[in-house]
Amino acid sequence: MSTHDPRALEERIERLERLVGDLQRELATRPAAPPPPAYAAPLPSAPVQAGAPHPHLPNPPIPAPRRAGSGFPRLEWDGQLWLNRLGIGLMLLGTGLLFRYSIEMGWLTPAVRVGFGAALGAVLFALGLRLDAKQRYGAVLLGGGVATWYTTGWAAFNLYGLVGYVPAFIGMVAITIVAFGMALKRDAPALGVLGAFGGLGTPLLLGVSYGTPRGFALYTCLILAWTAGVCLYRGWRWVLWTAQALGWSLLFIYARHLPPAPQTATADRWIVQLAAVWAWVALGALPVARRVALLRRAGGHERHWPHAEVAHWYALVLVPPHAALAVAAAVWNPQPEAWGLWTLAVAGVYALGGWALYRPDHRIARAVLFTASMLVSIGCVAAFRGDALLFALAVQTVALHWLAGRGGGPSIRWMAHKVFIAAAAWMLYRLTQTGDTRAPRVLADLSLLVAGLASSYLFRSRRGVPGYRFFVHVGLMGWLWRQLAPYDGGEGLVTIAWGAYGLVLLLVSLRRRKPLLEKTAIATLLAVVAKLFLVDLSALHPLFRVLLFLGFGGVFLFLSYSLQAWWKESREAPAPPPAR
């Protein structure tokens, strides 16, 4: 039942009055309570008011406070409200069908059609004003009137040519002002969404070819300023996301409609670019600043952040910088390397911002740091190529794991995993391309192996350690194969290197009593044996093959006998406690 329905409120007051009366009669029939002790102060008597808790009854549970500033309308089941919405929709649809039939029959001229649409919008708007502001039906009717006016203005200009571009544009702006004004007066976010959609979409509805990108960019800045002010004042998220979707799309369209560089003044490009910067501030920085200010005023961090909050704030921090960089690319048409450096510079700004916000609001700080990590990855891909890119991804992997362990949160750890997986897959592909043993390539591959090993020591949880170390193990064996195979007798050198590496792992595992490392060492030695049979038998000189088989056979026998004491200690050692 809606709390805004006067009839429902009256029924609730009557029930409470009956309940209070019953309680008073019950107390009157009870025997008098014994007098209080002499030392006890008499309790002041107060009349019991309707709706107030009785002094001898337990206090009713206090409902949890609603989170302020969400701005998301609740989609509750209310038969009256949905019937009202369906009625408005069907009425508009029926009017449209009647309108179309009248046009087909030739009953209405274009001027009459436009006048009929304007009158219909006025009737709906007037009916919405007549209803009580606390009733939701008024907002539905007001929204229907505003939507009808937008459609009528579009038809008067585009379909019938009854008004010029300037009067149509001014009329659309006036409708937007009315929509926002009624949204604030009635506290109706849906009207704010409609006003933001109509105000920002006016250039698209009337056609971007009638104006200049510079003028449209300035107009978009004004609408975004007003929309951002409304969102900061009321905290309406649907209005904010409507502005995000349309604002960035319009700025990108305006940037793409700029003439080529020799034909466009630099001032026009800078105006569109500054409009993108302003949109970045209004749609990204100001909502974050508002949240931090409200949290500091409340005096503490939130204990729980629902998934909807996580999605909203991460997206709100993530979208504006990427959209602004996309608009900048459309404005200036830079080379990928230059655009990548711009992106890295923005990532540095966000990294500093995340560090500064960590103490006031660590949740928002994590979202900002996650955005910085995304920007770094994109900037590296755009700015670097080949070996330099692999080295940059290796450095980023270690930095992200270090940051995640210092309070960056699960999102930073997730980003570190994804960067490392992409770099590892690329490196394994590069290892299959034999013949290139240049120093930059060698150093780049080694840097990723070192990054994987270093990252395995930066985990608080041990679940990801085996995966990283397994990649380091496989990557090192592949790196040895690629580096040694091109030489004369290189396959034999690879076998020797693998065997030496496997023996070192075996000795370390037995000395430190690491069962998993021991299994890895045995698997490596089995790989050496497999290579001896599958590759070396046909690729090496017969004498070299004999030496390899005899040498490894002797080494294996010697170790099996000489390391019996180590094996016995390793088998008898107590199992380590499971990682928590």
Q: Which tens digit of pLDDT belongs to each residue from 493-511?
A: 888 888 888 888 888 887 7
Higher pLDDT, 75 or 451: 451
Is the pLDDT at 45 greater than 80, yes or no?
A: no
Q: What is the mean pLDDT of the chain?
A: 80
Higher pLDDT, 416 or 491: 416
Given this model, what pLDDT does residue 539 score?
65
* Separation in Å, CA 248 to CA 219, 284, 320, 520, 542: 13, 12, 8, 53, 70
Q: Dig out the tokens for 367 from the structure.
A: 């979202």
Given this model, what pLDDT does residue 113 score?
76
Mean pLDDT of 125-137: 72
Given this model, what pLDDT does residue 89 score?
67
Burial class of residue 525 in the structure, from the number of CB atoms within 10 Å of its CB (0-12 exposed, 13-18 middle, 19+ buried): buried
- Measuring CA to CA, which residue among 52, 58, 43, 46 is closest to residue 17? 52
Rounded to the nearest angstrom, the gap between the alpha carbon of residue 373 and the centroid of all alpha carbons in its chain is 13
Mean pLDDT of 333-339: 94
Among 30-39, 323-332, 418-427, 496-505, where is mean pLDDT lowest?
A: 30-39
The answer for 513, left when phi > 0, alpha when psi is -120 to 50, beta otherwise, is: left
Among 23-32, 179-188, 321-330, 346-355, where is mean pLDDT lowest?
A: 23-32
Question: Mean pLDDT highest for which of 169-178, 455-464, 542-551?
Answer: 169-178
In 10 A of CB 180, how many CB atoms? Answer: 24
Mean pLDDT of 97-108: 64
Distance CA 414, CA 410 (A): 6
Mean pLDDT of 170-180: 94
Domain residue spans of the chain: 1-12+80-211
Among 214-228, 259-273, 369-383, 452-466, where is mean pLDDT lowest?
A: 259-273
Is the pLDDT at 466 greater than 60, yes or no?
A: yes
In 10 A of CB 536, how many CB atoms? Answer: 18
Over residues 549-559, the pLDDT tens digits come to 677 777 666 66
Is the pLDDT at 59 greater than 70, yes or no?
A: no
Given this model, what pLDDT does residue 28 score?
65
Among 51-60, 91-100, 167-176, 299-308, where is mean pLDDT lowest?
A: 51-60
Q: Residues 250, 204: contact at Cβ < 8 Å?
A: yes
Given this model, what pLDDT does residue 16 score?
75
Is the pLDDT at 169 greater than 60, yes or no?
A: yes
Q: Which amino acid is at 337?
A: E
Give the burial string for 543-560 (b: 16+ CB within 10 Å, else e): eebeebeeebeeeeeebe
Is the pLDDT at 37 greater than 50, yes or no?
A: no
Mean pLDDT of 135-153: 82
> Where residue 468 falls among pLDDT bands split at 50, 70, 90?
very high
Is the pLDDT at 326 greater than 80, yes or no?
A: yes
Distance CA 395, CA 389 (A): 10
Mean pLDDT of 54-83: 46
Given this model, what pLDDT does residue 148 score?
87
Mean pLDDT of 280-287: 94
Given this model, what pLDDT does residue 352 score?
96
Given this model, what pLDDT does residue 534 score?
73
Give the burial string for 4-33 (b: 16+ CB within 10 Å, else e): eeeeeeeeeeeeeeeebeeeeeeeeeeeee
> Where residue 88 falls among pLDDT bands split at 50, 70, 90?
low
Is the pLDDT at 387 greater than 80, yes or no?
A: yes
Q: Dig out the tokens for 325 from the structure.
A: 């960089």
Given this model, what pLDDT does residue 30 score?
61
Is the pLDDT at 5 greater than 60, yes or no?
A: no
Given this model, what pLDDT does residue 63 score?
40
Among 78-82, 352-356, 540-544, where is mean pLDDT lowest?
A: 78-82
Mean pLDDT of 209-214: 82
Half-sphere exposure of 303 toward its Cβ, with a 13 Å CA cutoff? 0
Distance CA 315, CA 137 (A): 32
> Where residue 84 falls among pLDDT bands split at 50, 70, 90?
low
Is the pLDDT at 337 greater than 70, yes or no?
A: yes
